[in-house]
Structure 1
Amino acid sequence: MTMMANSSVNVPAGTTITAPNGTIITVSGSSDTVITQPGAVVRVPAGATGPANDIVTTGYASGNGLSTSALSVTSLAGSATTNLYPADGTGAAAILWGGGHLAMDSSNDVILSDRGSLRKVTQAGVVTTLTTQGFWDGVAIDPSGAFYGSGNASGIATPSVVWRALLQKFSASGAYQQLFTNWESSSTNTSDGFGGLVMDSRGALFLADAVSNRIVKFNVDSNTWAIFAGSGASGNQDGPGTAATFTLDQMPDLAIDSNDNLYVRSADAVRKIAPDGTVTTIASQLPATGAIAIDKSGNIYTAGYQAIIRITSGGSVASYPFTNTTDFITSLVTDRNGNVYAGTRGFGAQIFRINFADQ
């Protein structure tokens, strides 16, 4: 059916709503409310035989519910036309290389790895380079304001160059330190040691090991590391710890919620890793990407080509058109206010702030 103005309809889980602006929501669970616009098309598949206890309505401009309204998007920093010769500056005058990982500090500044350097973008769009020491990829921040990064260093060996994986720390006072040097090495893969990095509530660091399709845990205090989840084989098998398999993107983000659950994109799926290492699948049949983030309400965000995808804590999946750039979204992060930040790579490289109508 096509929704008229000031109308409502009750639907079962499995229903899809396509708004006039191109937003598509697939309802999951029960007692959900979807706020949409007149002209939206509601489709109930034949297999959706459960109770019709979800509501689709055009009777509210805003309110509690999942909205199909267009995203509100602001370009914080970065040129839309070039990523050559990275330079500090404000707004479009700053030049970013792009393709790195994003993190959010306690001041709501975006911290990012950018062509191996560690950089900061304020809410006013001011870009500064924090350090060029080391080669930064994944980024995590501890309560003291110290930055941690995944990455590697190259060393000459016979007969070829060896890339030595390590973690690194840049303290709030500006001291640089290498950690877990040579925890992994490769003579063939320049991305050895790369991947999204997060810190849990106990100070342990977790890496989405892009090369080896696994999640690795590092205990900084004891200087020990271990495989936390994933056998190393490619796949999407759920299960406990190393019985599970992942197929990670070349630059996989890693997200963590307030209960220390980890989230990662694995091929077309969003996967959850519990604190005991048990892996489950949250959603599948999504566009392939490595970008993922989670907000304080438990909503998960990932990306497609010119799309931001949100998976609510109730399991509903919404795909929002993101037409502000034709560049690829390579990383996502959220702030304490529920805003989402996207980093891109392509003709230019930018940092975007994204707000949803129902937040």
Structure 2
Amino acid sequence: MKFVDEAIIKVIAGDGGNGCISFRREKFIPFGGPDGGDGGGGGSVWLIADEGLNTLVDFRHQRAFRAQRGQNGMGSQMYGKGGEDTDIRVPVGTVVTNVDTDEVIGDLTVNGQRLLVAEGGRGGLGNIHFKSSVNRAPRKSTPGTPGDMRELKLELKLLADVGLLGFPNAGKSTFIRAVSAATPRVADYPFTTLHPNLGVVRIGTDQSFVVADIPGLIEGAADGAGLGIQFLRHVSRTSLLLHVVDIAPIDGGDAVEQVRAIEQELAKFNPELLERPRWLVMNKADVLDENERHARAKEIVERLEWKDPWFLISAISREGTWDVCQKVQQFFDAARAAARNADEAAADVRMRGEG
């Protein structure tokens, strides 16, 4: 299935049904009085997060979604039937924005989460509501109100724990194939990966994390060069970045300059990304002999003045990849433990305050 991570749709909620003007007509009851019922409410439009979906491609074919109109009120104080809601299923990780106001309406991050995007109109009042001591036969009712109508931008941001960064052909797809069951396309030319791939890395029975293979970035990506800014946003949800770099680029490029170029693109797109934990993974160590690879890695680390963890691996032979995955799992285990301790400490403070 083709990966689509943006779509524009139109949602139209149902109008409310009109109120009814009616009078009771029964034999031997000449002045039955008003009995017009209210109109039914219009149906609303909801978005529902579905973990079974991983693309917005369906919205290429259907762009308009309409909920049902409420039924008009009827005589004998019969209220109109409410219109049925329309549910639209979208992938988990979808951000919803109002196109007209550029306001973010919601962010669907949990499977089954529902978001109201267009509310149905209210039903009109029947003439039974306008009866009074001075107006016993009102010929007045109100129409139903119109339902909301909006144009929405749906933007899918992958929900991954780890994001792989790097220039094209740095070996990101090979790495994710080596550590997970994902099978992204691998070839010896740039931009083989045309859309993000997700893979689940399992360390133990209850230990796993999700890694995203972000398509290769180049200098100017934040301004739209190469595959451009459309994939930089997928990095924003990840907790840890693995910066994959070819330790000996076949084109004679400088690995250090490539790392710095990606850093500049991250800074231009969102400076906060540079504050996120980012580990250096020097790949393709198999192309160099034992002494040369370690000397080259040491040189790169020193020139970058790299303070965070770094690794020397060969994704094609899986050398060193398991060590990276174990360290990543330890990172998340420590983060979860710290979060639990913080929650327990906050709970203790609340209990003492209540006591």
Fold shared by both chains (TM-score > 0.5): no
Using the size of structure 2 for normalisation, the TM-score is: 0.24
Q: Which has the higher helix share?
A: 2
Bigger Rg, which one:
2
Q: Which has the higher strand share?
A: 1
Using the size of structure 1 for normalisation, the TM-score is: 0.24
